Chain A
Amino acid sequence: MSQTTGYVDLDSLAERVERLATLEGKELEAEEIALLGRKSGLITTKLKSLAKLPLEERRSYGARLNELRVKADSILVQKRAAATGVDALLVGADLTMPGRHRWVGAEHPVTRVVDEIVEIFRGIGFTVAVGPEVETEWYNFLALNFPPDHPAMDMHDTLYLDAPPVEGEPAGRLLLRTHTSPVQIRALMQSPPPVRVVIPGMVYRNDEFDPSHSPAFSQIEGLAVDEGISFVDLKATLIHFAHRFFGPTTKTRFRPSFFPFTEPSAEMDVECQLCHGGGCPACKGTGWMEILGCGMVHPAVLENCSLDSERYTGWAFGMGPHRIAMLRYGIPDIRLLLEGDMRFLEQVGRQA
């Protein structure tokens, strides 16, 4: 099979290379060293001394020599594979049989939504802040400019603790916070502006369970307070968020709304993620989905935190990761997110 190379020495080498395929064990090892050993292998030394040959000879002789080396290498690789049983592993195996897996786990779908939101805001200078879930009326309502005995309180059906008010604090009646906004107050009292925080956490309402309501659900809130912050910053930042979260061409709209702690207040809608604006039952035919509430921080809130409301302005937003998770994963009932059914968790836990 071996073709003559036209070089006597190479022809004999070629024979030895061919023979490699028939050798095993120590013999193979010895012959490998004899031919390809780094210091004195026959092929190796010839390759090293190529430079001494005249140019023309170097080309043809060198090419032949190199062919031999490549061939020897490939024979040796095959021999090794056979020796370590790679081929044997495959012999007779029905490769259609199921593979072996290990258990996997997953973050809760709501956690994944929160993490994604947090990451987007971290990218534009926000840090994460958290606060207690049991709060006083002052932090939850009064500091946030909720007038006492006002119908605005009806927007927050509150779960109160059966405990005496906290001593030494204003409006110290204890409750389960109805929103993450009390952490706004804590952040503003903790640090002078610039404040730029996102606040994830659980919040509580005296709501019966139904497919879209739960007494406990998550909220994530953002707050930016500094000199020179305006409604334009609010819009720009939240549109940036919507484009990152829902996709770069997602349409948004802002419409007036009411929250006691922001003024002007707004709702941001994004185009319906199901019908993309065409109108469907999920968006009640409007083509829009209400995603978050937002607004410029009410000067009274800044004043309640002893900040100069003439010097500082700010904006805030809040949204519900449970609701967003339901939209994103097509979950029809919020209770699925609170029940720990393994079948559900395995489904939505798959990394998309």
Chain B
Amino acid sequence: MNLSLRWLEAFLRRELDPRDVAERLTMLGAPVDAVEPLHTDLAELVVGLVEEVRQHPNADRLRVCLVNDGTAERLHVVCGAPNVAAGKRYPFARVGSSVPHGKGGAPTRIERAKLRGEVSEGMLCSARELGLGQEHDGILELTTDAAPGTPLLEALPLSDHRLVVDVTPNRPDLLCHKGVARELSASYAVPFRLPSIPGAESLDLPPERRATTTGKVGQVAVTIEDSVACPRFHAALIRGTRVGASPGWLRTRLEAVGVRSINNVVDATNYVMLELNQPMHAYDAATLRGPALVVRRAHAGERLVTLDDEQRTLDAEMVAIADAAGVIGLAGVMGGATTEVTLETRDVLLEAAYWDPPRVRRTRRALGMSTEASYRFERTIDRWAGGDAMRRCIELVLATGGGELADPPLDLWPEPSHPPRIFLRPARVAQVLGVEVPWNAIERYLVAVGATVVSKPDDGRIAVDVPGWRPDLVREIDLIEEIARLHGYDTFPSDLRPFRMGSLPEAPEEIAAAAVRRGMVEQGLYEVSRLPLGPADGDGSVRLRNPLSADDAWLRRRLLPGLLRLVEGNWANHVEDVRLFEIGTAWSGGGPGERPREERRLAAVFTGHRAPPHWTGTGQERFDLWDLKGRFEAAVALAIPAAVVQVERSAWVARDAEGRIVGEAAPLAADAPPWAAPLFGFELLLDPSPRRPPQFIPLPATPASERVLALLLPDGVTASGVSELLRRVGGALLERVEVESDYRGPELPAGVRSVAFRLVFRAPDRTLRDAEVDQAETRLLAALEDELGVRRRGAGAARGGE
């Protein structure tokens, strides 16, 4: 919302400091995003008084003027304007100053010049050269009697500041100057009043109020067929007005807030909207067929060319304004082109209606448009103020174009109502705000926002009639907010008071995620966070109805594909060492009418050097399969401790207690540059349940006895198969089995490899004797040969194959 400081000053009838106003509005809940000084490009111009005009000796169309610019000298200025006259004041650019729209419309510095032999020491300017209008028939005659030399911006009401205010959706009253002036009036503790309209006669017009849906204004019959969409409709007919350019003051007001001046009638409607927040519409009454104006539902497929020259197709949900022959406007959104007011218009029908906000919102959304009017209607305007707005608009049209009012304005209001009454308990104010606000202060604040305090607090509550322009005030808490707001949020104390601890336990899934995250970071991985959207990923993918792009139209089911793309991005940056992980949400479809299944997952990818390469030659190895397995096992232990890692189809999976696959790890195929190292990755479900802390097992008090068995494993026999057998047959004394080495070589028979296992024996209650361990070893070797065909390599318990 753009505000003109001058307009606000006219309400408050005092000068305002733009920065101070911005600060006050911000602290009242309407933050000011920008304060823009206007017409700063006119700062160098002054009022010049032409004291003498004589014909240029060498040119018929030029004159030489003697200009008083406030200095002692009289300046010779050559001027071509036909309207230059002695004794008049004009905008004057001294030598050295700049004119914003000079030669070719560009800013131009004025220099001393000789024109056809006559010296010219400055320039008298037209409106166009100053950017104040299109007139270039002559120079701009000033009506001011300011002394020559007065800065132009002081002499004209042009100097202004535009305040760009961010108005929240609950405060439609701040979408106009009157509403903002009301806030400032409370803040500065000064009264405010509607500014007078130059040349306007104050009308005393009791409106023709009717609690019905039909009426007539002049020859035009007005009918409300849909009084839900349109609870109230004001109309007035002005006959014999002249449509033309608006006077300067009106143009200046509108242009100060960024609204283009069109003609005096359209400008009058815009002025009223910007001043009072009542969007108005003006029809060329001669174009109304019937003549009639009907508020009704649109017929599906009905077409309308709106004022912006767009062809619109309506549906039966939309509310239209029609005449006897068809639709002529989109109610609350935009008028139609056929009934537009033009320079030829003589009879103007003015409309000030209240439209049902949700309906306006649905209509303009269905048509993909938003207008100044719809913006205001959908935020709810003051339905009790349309009559005042209509009177203001009539005054403006009559003052700027003349004509006469055909009838008293019509006010169709089928079901008259009052703004709501709310009861307020001062005790509740204290309960919510934490401090006692004195009763007289409460009353002062409520009156300042325009409420009427009906009764005093005798039974612990007061009745408050809220003003029509505050549709956000519907219950007691809304009044409490007003009290806090005007009291000033910063005036409340901020001492930390005693509190009770919350009754909800910590969310276990967050604790689990934090532990997993720490574990991954300890492994040297960097956490990333990504948009959880992507392309479809198999059956059960969930699609967005209104996706941002075709690529990101589906909820992800897995994290790994996204991480893969990040690795490729790093490769594109010539980064070889990439180590990333993500803890994030993934979804898969539930049945129809069910929520999709939502899971927290963990995924990681890594490629490149296993450690930072060092000049000593360490850290040259790249990550390999066994790094993947180790990290996967560690991640499973952290993320889903109940699961076990198994080999499946030349990769690893994790299965939970029910045998479901909850994780996978594998080398990954990717769009890799030739220099890239192999890429590995895994993904896992993150178990949200609380973790049990590890339980202490008494430390061994007896020594262990170790044996290393180098075993010849034929193809098809796996290390885990051997380990399982060793554990099973080894019994209670065999504490641990570790694989120590794996060797294949020419001295071994074909199809056989040598794997060395380290066996750790221990009895918890005594020192094992060698004989016992020997016995166990013999038993194990027998079982290995028997069950797996695995024999010991060579005779001794030597190391594997090195």
Query: Residues of A with Cβ closer than 8 Å to B?
Result: 97-98, 100-108, 110-111, 115, 124-130, 132-134, 136, 148-152, 154-155, 159-167, 172, 174, 176, 187, 190-197, 200, 202, 206, 208, 214-216, 218, 224, 226, 228-233, 235-237, 239-240, 253-258, 263-267, 284, 296, 298-299, 313, 337-343, 345-346, 349
Chain B at the A interface: SS class: loop
Nearest Cβ on chain A to B339's Cβ, whole angstroms: 28
Chain B residue numbers with a CB within 8 Å of A97 are: 615
Is B379 close to A, CB under 8 A?
yes
Chain B residue with minimal CB distance to A200?
A: B510
Nearest Cβ on chain A to B182's Cβ, whole angstroms: 15
Contact B477 A100 (CB under 8 A): no
Given contacts A103-B611, A125-B500, contact A215 B510 (CB under 8 A): no
**A-B CB proximity, top 5 nearest:** A230-B434, A196-B502, A256-B29, A232-B434, A103-B524
Given A132-B595, A134-B598, 11 more contacts at CB 8 Å? Answer: A126-B502, A127-B504, A133-B598, A149-B358, A174-B595, A196-B499, A202-B529, A230-B433, A232-B434, A258-B169, A299-B475
Contact A232 B615 (CB under 8 A): no
Given contacts A149-B362, A313-B431, contact A195 B169 (CB under 8 A): no
Complex partner residue of A110 from B480, B529, B578, CB under 8 angstroms: B529
Nearest Cβ on chain B to A276's Cβ, whole angstroms: 18
Chain A residue numbers with a CB within 8 Å of B570 are: 340-342
Contact B573 A100 (CB under 8 A): no
Contact B545 A162 (CB under 8 A): yes
Contact A264 B481 (CB under 8 A): yes
What is the 8 Å Cβ interface bit string for chain B, positions 336-370, against chain A (1 contact, 0 not)?
00000000000000000000011001100000000
Contact B575 A239 (CB under 8 A): no
Contact A231 B502 (CB under 8 A): no
Specify which of B502, B527, B563 lies most central, judged by the most chain A CB atoms within 10 Å of its CB: B502
Complex partner residue of A125 from B378, B492, B499, B528, CB under 8 angstroms: B499
Complex partner residue of A124 from B499, B531, B596, CB under 8 angstroms: B499
Contact A206 B546 (CB under 8 A): yes
Chain B residue with minimal CB distance to A345?
A: B526
Is B592 close to A, CB under 8 A?
yes
- For chain B, residues 533 to 587, give those with C-beta under 8 angstroms from any C-beta of chain A: 533, 542-548, 552, 555, 563, 566, 569-570, 573, 575, 577-581, 584-585, 587
Given contacts A108-B528, A215-B533, A338-B531, contact A167 B169 (CB under 8 A): no
Contact B566 A265 (CB under 8 A): no
Complex partner residue of A152 from B29, B170, B577, B615, CB under 8 angstroms: B170
Number of A-B residue pairs having CB atoms within 8 Å of each other in the complex: 293
Complex partner residue of A102 from B34, B490, B520, B612, CB under 8 angstroms: B612
Contact B503 A193 (CB under 8 A): yes
What is the 8 Å Cβ interface bit string for chain B, positions 490-510, against chain A (1 contact, 0 not)?
101111110111111111011
Complex partner residue of A255 from B26, B499, B615, CB under 8 angstroms: B26
Contact B517 A111 (CB under 8 A): yes
Chain A residue numbers with a CB within 8 Å of B585 are: 133, 202
- For chain B, residues 584 to 618, give those with C-beta under 8 angstroms from any C-beta of chain A: 584-585, 587, 589, 592-596, 598, 611-612, 614-616, 618
Contact B524 A202 (CB under 8 A): no
Is B300 close to A, CB under 8 A?
no
CA distance A256 to B186 in the complex (A): 15
Contact A106 B595 (CB under 8 A): no
Contact B517 A163 (CB under 8 A): no
Contact A130 B598 (CB under 8 A): no
Contact B168 A258 (CB under 8 A): yes
Contact A338 B530 (CB under 8 A): yes
Chain B residue numbers with a CB within 8 Å of A341 are: 569-570, 573, 575
Nearest Cβ on chain B to A184's Cβ, whole angstroms: 12
Contact B510 A130 (CB under 8 A): yes
Contact A190 B566 (CB under 8 A): no
Complex partner residue of B502 from A125, A218, A339, CB under 8 angstroms: A125
Chain A residue numbers with a CB within 8 Å of B169 are: 150-152, 154-155, 258
Chain A at the B interface: SS class: mixed
Chain A residue numbers with a CB within 8 Å of B493 are: 232, 235-236
Nearest Cβ on chain A to B215's Cβ, whole angstroms: 30
Is B478 close to A, CB under 8 A?
yes
Chain B residue numbers with a CB within 8 Å of A253 are: 27, 489-490
CA distance A196 to B505 in the complex (A): 10
Chain A residue with minimal CB distance to B167?
A: A258
CA distance A165 to B545 in the complex (A): 12
6 CB-based A-B contacts, threshold 8 Å: A105-B520, A187-B504, A224-B499, A232-B434, A255-B489, A340-B526
Chain B residue numbers with a CB within 8 Å of A152 are: 169-170
Contact B596 A167 (CB under 8 A): no
CA distance A237 to B495 in the complex (A): 8
Contact A230 B489 (CB under 8 A): no
Is B228 close to A, CB under 8 A?
no
Contact A102 B611 (CB under 8 A): yes
Is B523 close to A, CB under 8 A?
yes
Nearest Cβ on chain B to A165's Cβ, whole angstroms: 7
Nearest Cβ on chain A to B481's Cβ, whole angstroms: 4
Chain B residue numbers with a CB within 8 Å of A172 are: 593
Complex partner residue of B530 from A132, A265, A340, CB under 8 angstroms: A340
Contact B502 A127 (CB under 8 A): yes
CA distance A299 to B357 in the complex (A): 24
Nearest Cβ on chain B to A227's Cβ, whole angstroms: 9
Contact A105 B358 (CB under 8 A): no
Contact A159 B547 (CB under 8 A): yes
Contact B490 A254 (CB under 8 A): yes
Is B37 close to A, CB under 8 A?
no
Nearest Cβ on chain B to A173's Cβ, whole angstroms: 9
Chain A residue numbers with a CB within 8 Å of B566 are: 339-340
Is B658 close to A, CB under 8 A?
no
Given contacts A102-B611, A127-B504, A161-B545, contact A231 B378 (CB under 8 A): no
Is B147 close to A, CB under 8 A?
no
Contact A195 B485 (CB under 8 A): no
Chain B residue numbers with a CB within 8 Å of A340 are: 526, 528, 530, 563, 566, 569-570, 580
Nearest Cβ on chain B to A287's Cβ, whole angstroms: 11
Contact A105 B521 (CB under 8 A): yes
Is B31 close to A, CB under 8 A?
yes
Contact B378 A151 (CB under 8 A): yes
CA distance A227 to B517 in the complex (A): 37
- For chain B, residues 420 to 443, give those with C-beta under 8 angstroms from any C-beta of chain A: 431-435
Contact A194 B492 (CB under 8 A): no
Specify which of B501, B527, B573 lies most central, judged by the most chain A CB atoms within 10 Å of its CB: B527
Chain A residue numbers with a CB within 8 Å of B522 are: 105
